[in-house]
Chains A and B, each alone.
Chain A
Amino acid sequence: MSMNRKATIAALAALTSIGLAACSGTTVTSAPSNAATGSPSSSGSAAVFTPTCPPGQLDGGGSSAQALAMSTVVAQYQAKCANTKVNYDGKQGSGTGIKNFYNSQLDWAGSDAAASTKPSSDGTVEADKIKARCNNNPGWNLPAVVGPVAFAYKLSGVNNLALSPQVIADIFMGKITTWNDPAIAQLNSGVTLPSTKISVMYRTDSSGTSYNVSDFLNQTAPSTWTTPADKSWKGTAGEGKQGSQGVADGIKSTEGAFGYVEWKYATDSNLGIAAIDSGSGPVKLTADAVSKAVAASGNVVGTNGDQSVKIDFKAGSAAAGAYPMYLVTYEIVCSAGLDTAKTAVEKDFLSYLLSTPVQKSLTDQGYAPLPDSLRTKVQSSVDAIK
């Protein structure tokens, strides 16, 4: 069954790539200068990368949060490299992706969180398993796709809304229940707020988005949001909906609704997106504002080539013009030990994924580009993969 499916996917991918190759003249920018070296230009601000297209096949899978980004980039990459096969299955979810990676069914894993270094309840340590899979070389967590999270609302007549982290936490805990609450009015002078009841929506299923939003609230409004970050939502107000689409649909169909959802879902459903005001004026959700926040708050805590990030949401909120609510998704790879052909494809594909034009193009899919400070670090790790 799964063999059949894989074959079908491969066949489809092949067909698509042939089709796309035929019109590859129209695809994303590429600079010819550094095609020979296959490494990014050292100018930093606009690292363009032209794939070298080594022959081979590379299979990845896991996080659904980066599925849209990956399918876009894979399609672009395949359009340039018809003889290189790259697959990403974003239906598995992060945990399963990591499992399939260390069980050698995948060549790399996409994940919402870095591979765990602590034993799970059945005693397995993801990082150790990955090390064993990579012929005793450590795995590296490489942040590659940044997903902004929107605080979305449906309120007729209100097109611009600013909320502070404290107010957001109060709404999610049921302490602020109407839209014309003084705390909201204070942040929105000049806006006529209706007395509509606030209907809170959140994710029923456990998700990395819930984890990051509760982490954000726990760091920026600790007196109200007292529980630590958790994949299942701990807010007491409102109602849960299944999946991001469920939350977006719920908000769309309910006047006065408020919830958190990935950027793309909010824009696709034409929902209002609240600006975040952390004390120095409201900042709207733009790719640029998120990149600024990543630069200010996405601190690399990994060592020896690992680039795991710990997000300091307070620092992100304090930075000027930064929209602090985002999540980072990783590509988890072997630092060494994959066979030579696969390693060549992996380095080529990841360099392409990290190149500036490709990162910028992800904005259309609801992602934000990695800031250059972090991008160059991750690129140096990719270059160091053996």
Chain B
Amino acid sequence: MFAPQPQGRRGPQGGDPPGPAVGPDAQVSPGVGLDPQTRIVAPTLMTPPRKGPDKAFSATVTTAGWLVVALIGAIGLFLLFSALPSLRANTANFFLSNEWNVGNQTLSFGIAGLLWTTVLSSVIAMVVAVPVALGLALLITQYAPPGRIRTWVSFVIDLLAAVPSVVYGLWGARVFAPVLRPVQHFLQAILGWFPLFGPGVASPGTVFAASLVLAVMILPIITALTRDAFAQTPSDQIEAATALGGTQWEVIRLAVLPYGRSSAVAAAMLGLGRALGETIAVMLILSSTNAIKINWSIFAGGQTFASKIAANAGEFDSPIKTGAYIAAGLVLFMLTFAVNAASRWILARGQVKS
């Protein structure tokens, strides 16, 4: 996506894509290095296209770009205007309440519990998936000998992304979550005094189980993006580190990790965006609760924004009721929007540094 074509360690070949400074290029332009933006945006400073086909193509791609922006804006506006009447009629505090009564004349609903479950499950998924993904990316790019193992590990991880989320949901609910019970009992036995590990629901459908399945689901995207970034580490930097007598770990620490850091963070954020919005798998695994009081334990049940909306989508029979769910959807929209914006920002900042 935003990572340029992988070029291995061979350095630039042919047309240099506008992306992170690659290899010798970064060194030979010290003057520009102070303000790399100039170098990156340089092509746009050329004289605008004058010939017909050029103009037409330029207009087409510009329109396409604006269309996407307009589309996102339209979705945001749709969510906002559908949610407003319900939010006005809401008698509970939208952000602090955990009630959800939308069937009757009086509307009282709040997203506190949804927000907690959504963020908690995504954060646990990140804590588990990111280190594993980084390790896999390093294995594939640095440790595994080029050839069969490297290809196979990459292939299998990419295959994880091809499994439909409903399959993850069924597997999680029927196979994986029950297997996790001993882990849960162990954690509760030693850490049960801490509210996060307190007693939760009786069945295996805990936030903990859902989070671990989410971790498996976001693993491929994080691995693929960090792998591509690590693979592009300039070979002269690696060779320099090796020449100074560095062990393989030192080479990784001094050359590979700093180079790929911003890409890794951005990849993690993209994974987070996916975890926040995952619907069907969470819906199938996680137990819901009718309790008004939020249970902070990772072994509690709950519903995420997405699973709550999906579970009730069959009953959207009145605009005011639908609006309540859309209001929840709006919060999710803004949450993922913020996460993606943050990942872009980190990526852009990292590019400037390198």
- In the complex, chain B residues whose CB is within 8 Å of the CB of A231: 103, 315
Residues of A within 8 A of B284 (CB): 242, 246
Please report which residues of chain B, range 163-178, place their CB below 8 angstroms from some CB of chain A when the two chains form the complex. Answer: 173-174, 177-178
- In this assembly, does A122 line the interface, its C-beta being within 8 Å of a C-beta of chain B? yes
In Å, the complex CA distance between A235 and B178 comes to 25
Looking at the complex, which of B198-206, B241-249, B262-270 is the stretch in contact with chain A?
B198-206
Docked complex Cα distance between A254 and B201 (Å): 10
Contact mask A324-338 → B, CB, 8 Å, 1/0?
Answer: 000000000000000
B103 to chain A, nearest CB (A): 7
Beta-carbon contact of B289 and A239 below 8 Å: yes
Contact B290 A240 (CB under 8 A): yes
Q: B315 and A199: CB pair below 8 A?
A: no
Instruction: Select one of B103, B205, B291 contacting A241, CB under 8 A.
Output: B205
Please, how many angstroms separate the alpha-carbon atoms of A204 and B304 in the complex? 13
Contact A250 B103, CB 8 Å, known A205-B312, A206-B315, A236-B290 = no
Q: A264 to B311, alpha carbons, bound, how many Å?
A: 22
A383 at the interface (CB under 8 A from B): no
- Give the most central of A197, A201, A254: most B CB within 10 Å: A254
Q: Which residues of A contact B60 (CB under 8 A)?
A: none
Residues of the A chain whose Cβ atoms lie less than 8 Å from the Cβ of B205: 239, 241, 250
**Contact string against B for A residues 216-259, beta-carbon threshold 8 Å, 1 for contact and 0 otherwise:** 00000000000000111111101111100010011001101100
By a CB distance below 8 angstroms, the chain A residues around B103 are 230-232
CB <8 Å contact, B317 and A121: yes
B301 touches A239 (CB 8 A): yes
Measured between C-beta atoms, what is the minimum distance from B300 to chain A in Å?
9
| Chain A residues within 8 Å of B204, by CB | 253-254
- Does A56 reach chain B (CB closer than 8 Å)? no
Q: Does A120 contact B (CB under 8 A)?
A: yes
Contacts of A232 in B (CB 8 A): 103, 312, 315
Give Cα A101–Cα B100 distance, bound, in whole angstroms: 32
B-side contacts of A357, CB under 8 Å: none
Report the Cα distance A236→B311, complex, angstroms.
19
A138 to B314, CA, bound (A): 27
Q: Does B320 contact A (CB under 8 A)?
A: yes
Q: How many residues on chain B are close to A (CB under 8 Å)?
A: 28
Q: From A255, which residue of chain B is reached at the shortest CB distance?
A: B202
Cβ-closest chain B residue relative to A230? B103
Counting CB contacts under 8 A, is A305 at the interface?
Answer: no
In the assembled complex, how far is the CB of residue A124 from the closest CB belonging to chain B, in whole angstroms? 10
Say what secondary structure dominates the interface of chain A.
loop
Is residue A61 contacting chain B, with contact meaning CB distance below 8 A?
no
Query: How far is B315's CA from A246's CA once the two chains are assembled, in angstroms?
Result: 19
A4 vs B290: C-alpha distance when bound (angstroms): 41
Is there an interface contact between A254 and B203, defined as CB atoms closer than 8 Å? yes
In the complex, whether A90 has a CB less than 8 A from a CB of chain B is no
Q: Are A93 and B314 in contact (CB under 8 A)?
A: yes
Q: How far is the CA of A232 from the CA of B311 in the complex (A)?
A: 11
- Please measure, in the bound complex, the distance between the C-alpha atom of A197 and the C-alpha atom of B201, giving whole angstroms: 12
Give the residues from 187 to 211 in chain A that come closer than 8 angstroms, CB to CB, to chain B. 197, 199, 201, 204-206
- Please, what's the 1-or-0 string for B294-309, where 1 marks a CB less than 8 Å from any CB in chain A? 0000000101000000
Interface size counted on chain A using CB atoms at 8 A: 31
Known A120-B318, A239-B289: A257·B203 in contact at CB below 8 Å: yes
List CB contacts (< 8 Å) of B327-354 with chain A.
none
Q: Does A54 contact B (CB under 8 A)?
A: no
The answer to whether A254 and B314 touch (CB under 8 A), given A230-B103, A235-B290, A236-B291, is no
Neighbouring B residues of A239 by C-beta, 8 Å: 201-203, 205, 287-289, 301
- Decide if B321 is an interface residue (CB 8 Å cutoff): yes
Task: State which of B178, B283, B291, B318 has its C-beta within 8 Å of the C-beta of A253.
Answer: B178
Shortest CB–CB separation between residue B170 and chain A, in angstroms? Answer: 9
A120 with B317, Cβ < 8 A, contacts A204-B288, A205-B312, A242-B311 known: yes
Q: Is B319 an interface residue when CB atoms closer than 8 A count as contact?
A: yes
Query: Which of A93, A201, A257 counts the most chain B CB atoms within 10 A?
Result: A201
CB distance from B281 to the nearest CB of A (A): 11
CB distance from A202 to the nearest CB of B (A): 8
A238–B288 alpha-carbon span in the complex (Å): 9
Cα–Cα distance between A254 and B290 once the two chains are bound (Å)? 19
What string of 1s and 0s marks CB contacts (under 8 Å) between B232-260 and chain A?
00000000000000000000000000000
Chain B CB within 8 A of A38 CB: no
Beta-carbon contact of A249 and B289 below 8 Å: no
Residues in A neighbouring B287, C-beta threshold 8 A:
201, 204, 239-241, 250
**Contact bitstring A78-115, B, C-beta under 8 A = 1, else 0:** 00000000000000010110000000000000000000
CB neighbours of A254 from chain B (8 A): 202-204
B118 CB to closest chain A CB (Å) equals 16
In the complex, the chain B residue whose C-beta lies closest to that of A96 is B314
- A257–B283 CA distance with the chains assembled, in angstroms: 20
CB of B104, distance to nearest CB on chain A (Å): 9
Enumerate chain B residues within 8 angstroms of A246, measured Cβ to Cβ.
Answer: 173, 284
Docked Cα-Cα span, A218 to B242, in Å, equals 77
With the chains together, A181 CA to B81 CA distance in Å? 52
Instruction: Select from chain A the residue with minimum beta-carbon distance to B280.
Output: A242
Contact across chains for B315 and A249 when beta carbons are under 8 A apart: no
| A240 and B301 contact, CB distance less than 8 A | yes
> Which residues from 39 to 64 on chain A have a C-beta closer than 8 Å to any C-beta of chain B?
none
- Chain A residue, CB-CB nearest to B283: A242
Q: Of A121, A205, A236, A250, which is within 8 A of B319 by CB?
A: A121
Q: Nearest-CB distance from A179 to chain B (Å)?
A: 13
Known: A121-B320, A240-B287. A256 touches B314 (CB 8 A): no
Indicate with 1 or 0, residue by residue over A117-146, a CB within 8 angstroms of chain B CB atoms: 000111000000000000000000000000
Task: Produce 1/0 per residue, A12-54, CB < 8 A to B.
Answer: 0000000000000000000000000000000000000000000
Interface string of B154-196 (1 = CB under 8 A from A): 0000000000000000000110011000000000000000000
Query: Is A122 a contact of B288 with CB atoms below 8 Å?
Result: no
Shortest distance from the beta carbon of B169 to any chain A beta carbon, whole Å: 9
* CB < 8 Å neighbour of A121 from B174, B288, B321: B321
The CA-CA distance from A249 to B284 in the complex, in Å, is: 11
What are 5 contact pairs spanning A and B, CB under 8 A? A122-B319, A199-B203, A206-B312, A239-B288, A249-B174
Interface of A toward B, CB cutoff 8 Å: 93, 95-96, 120-122, 197, 199, 201, 204-206, 230-236, 238-242, 246, 249-250, 253-254, 256-257
Besides A120-B317, A120-B318, A121-B317, 9 other CB < 8 A contacts? Answer: A93-B314, A121-B321, A122-B318, A206-B312, A238-B289, A239-B205, A240-B287, A250-B203, A253-B178
5 nearest CB pairs, A to B: A121-B318, A199-B202, A240-B288, A239-B287, A204-B288
